[in-house]
Amino acid sequence: MKLTTAGESHGKALIAVIEGLPAHLAVDVGAIDADLALRQSGVGRGARQKIETDTVEILTGVRNGETLGSPVTLCIYNKDYENWKAYMSAGACDVAARAVTRVRPGHADLSGMLKYAQNDARNILERASARETAVRVAAGGIFKQYLSAFGIRIGGYVREICGVKDEGRYSFDELPRAKTTATGMLDPEAGRLAEEKIVALKAAGDTAGGIAEIRVQGLKSGFGSCMTYADKLDARLAGRLMGIQAVKGVEVGLGFAVGSLSGRQVHDEIFYRDGFYRKTNRAGGIEGGMSNGEELVLRVAMKPIPTLMKGLETVDFLTHERAVAASERSDVCAIFALELIAEAAVAEVLAVAVSERLGGDTMEEMKERYARLP
């Protein structure tokens, strides 16, 4: 199974192609659109979300609500393209009118211009933009529906926004409530303080990052491998999560806390009563690069949005003179959206791992094989 995305932030559309899905997977487009709407919500989002109302169109691979076994192509049209057509057309267009040369700290601008021999950061930022994550969330909706057929569920919430922490401990069944809040936090008081922080940062022309926690329930043991490093489940998950724009850190289970604790405080003791089980889950559901049957627990740290309305000091790429960084339309805080995007990334990795282990051309074959696993 393989996901490929394409498209630019202000281009005509965003595209995702999923190869390797089995036949007879029921696809709920409404559920995908609901995730896309959630991705655009949350306090701190910018003006672009008022222009776009993201919905997915399935171009190939699905008939009468079921996958055919052929590649599935998803499309999200950019409504803002009509305002940018004169500058972003694949044919002749006015590239000078929206050129960006005051490269922005924290963005791909400078490194990308040097790598791809460009004099306009527009040719870099259009693809590096987090706008691309819209179609990744759409693909994630397909992967979540695929995993759901095996009883595997994914959820999450926001644990921290710019130093404001939600210190609660929540069951998996409590997680959906986070998506009904403005911040993605489950603790109302933490959410209120976080909203106040975001409002203050917006007034100051500044931005916020945060931490989201992703949890997975129902994944049986043995997905991933201890035999080859590339197949370790935690390595694959960390790689996909780190690939999300603005993510700078990933933890599994206790994460970095393991460096401060003793072995007795870290490792999950094993017991047996009608099957193996653990009383704790400090490993976050992964041992030796393989799922162990417990809930997967992952945390993702997002840096503050690097486009500031009161720009940081930089240099003009062409003149080498000191300048204030260019200001593209941007968010103040997008951690609510990041939680949805991280769910999609986790769903992709797990869908690939499940597909590799089970094989099969139809959902019926695969569900039967999953049911036989210990």
Question: Per the annotation, where are the binding residues for FMN?
Answer: 127-129, 245-246, 288, 303-307, 329
Reported as type and span, the H/E element at residue 204 is none
Report which of 6, 10, 205 is spatially closest to residue 97, judged by C-alpha positions: 10
DSSP 159: E
Binding site for NADP(+), residues?
39, 45
Q: Are 346 and 124 in contact (CB under 8 A)?
A: no
Binding site, residues?
39, 45, 127-129, 245-246, 288, 303-307, 329
Q: How far apart are CA 186 and CA 177, in angstroms?
A: 7
DSSP 230: G
Q: Give the three-state DSSP class for 243.
A: coil
Alpha helices in the chain (DSSP H): 29-39, 48-51, 81-88, 109-115, 122-128, 133-148, 188-203, 233-242, 263-266, 335-358, 363-372
Q: How far apart are CA 240 and CA 42, in angstroms?
A: 23
Q: Are 297 and 281 in contact (CB under 8 A)?
A: yes
Enumerate the β-bridge partners of residue 73.
17, 60
